[in-house]
Structure 1
């Protein structure tokens, strides 16, 4: 896995916000702004967008699932730089909705940052890291179908966001929390998809 400089989660939001201009922004510009070696930063940003009010954008859960799948495969393979296909990098996001999502995320991100610290760092080394990576890879395969089930897509995106935040801050407790939350995804799908 490529080594990344540990950065505060709010710094990632600052970087994303500074890239916003015009009425829409291509995914390619977001990647360039965050850096082509920042797998965790990119995973965090797109999964947070999918848990914010910006998730109302049609197809956003499927897009986040596709991006995360590609990023995780490259992390498992030990690739140094991010690669995403053109059909994703050419897509544009509404800057108004993106800024609204960033603003909504700032308060919870600042709250969470107070509790973050480097711990359980053995989870970021192979073979331990492969377990959450493989589980998240499996999760992304089901996410496109979650758009029809309220809440489940947001829970799945929150799992990815927690894992990515753990990678960025070297906080293994967040990785463990993401795996625990992952158990809630099938429960949510059952509850909202099959009850009543």
Structure 2
């Protein structure tokens, strides 16, 4: 897996914001901007988009779920570069809504960055990394269904974003925390979707 330690979470947001020109941006343009070898950066940015107010765009949660699933499969397979099918790469996102989402994300991202650091890095290598990747793949299978339950897709996306942040920062403790939170996603979805 490529070494992405030099990229902070804010750097990823800056790169994405810099590519948001015109009325819309395609998924392919996002991939080109962040790089075809930046698996963790791509997983982070798409899951963050789905966590932000931009998730209100119809079908976005399902699209992000497909992207994250494909990224996880390729990371497990040990691919060196990202491949996404054309029906995904041609998907367009409103730059206005995207930039609004990026602005919304900056404060929580800066907060998280304060606590990131290189810890438990052995968890970021095989075979240990395979377990969280498989669990995230399982989570993405349910994300399209979450679009009918308000906030549930954002909760799942936030867990994936935390996992990707741990990979980028070489922070195994954050990866473990994301897995603990992943186990709580079904409870949270039930609470927010069906309680009361």
- Smaller-chain TM-score range? over 0.9
Bigger shift: residues 82-91 or 143-152: 143-152
1:5 equivalent in structure 2: 4
Write the mapping of 1:1-196 to structure 2, written as runs, cut at 5 A: 2-6=1-5, 7-196=7-196
Task: Give the Å deviation of 1:114.
Answer: 1.2
CA RMSD in angstroms comes to 1.0
Supply the distance in 1 between the matched residues of 2:19 and 2:195 (Cα, whole angstroms): 43
Supply the distance in 1 between the matched residues of 2:98 and 2:183 (Cα, whole angstroms): 29
Task: Give the Å deviation of 1:79.
Answer: 0.4
Tell me, what secondary structure is at the counterpart of 1:182?
helix
Supply the distance in 1 between the matched residues of 2:4 and 2:43 (Cα, whole angstroms): 15
Task: Give the Å deviation of 1:108.
Answer: 1.0
Contact 1:151 1:188 in 2 (8 A): no
Task: Give the Å deviation of 1:123.
Answer: 0.7
Tell me, what secondary structure is at the counterpart of 1:183?
helix
Supply the distance in 2 between the matched residues of 1:8 and 1:73 (Cα, whole angstroms): 24
Task: Give the Å deviation of 1:5.
Answer: 2.2
Note the residue ranges of structure 2 that are not aligned, 5 or more in a row.
none
Supply the distance in 1 between the matched residues of 2:12 and 2:101 (Cα, whole angstroms): 13
Contact 1:40 1:165 in 2 (8 A): yes
Contact 2:24 2:93 in 1 (8 A): yes
Task: Give the Å deviation of 1:183.
Answer: 1.7
Q: Deviations over 1:134-185 (max 9, x none)?
A: 1001001111001111221111001100000011110111101111111221
Contact 2:123 2:129 in 1 (8 A): yes
Contact 2:117 2:171 in 1 (8 A): yes
Note the residue ranges of structure 1 that are not aligned, 5 or more in a row.
none
Across the two proteins, how many residue pairs are aligned to each other? 195
Task: State the TM-score, normalized to the length of structure 1.
Answer: 0.97
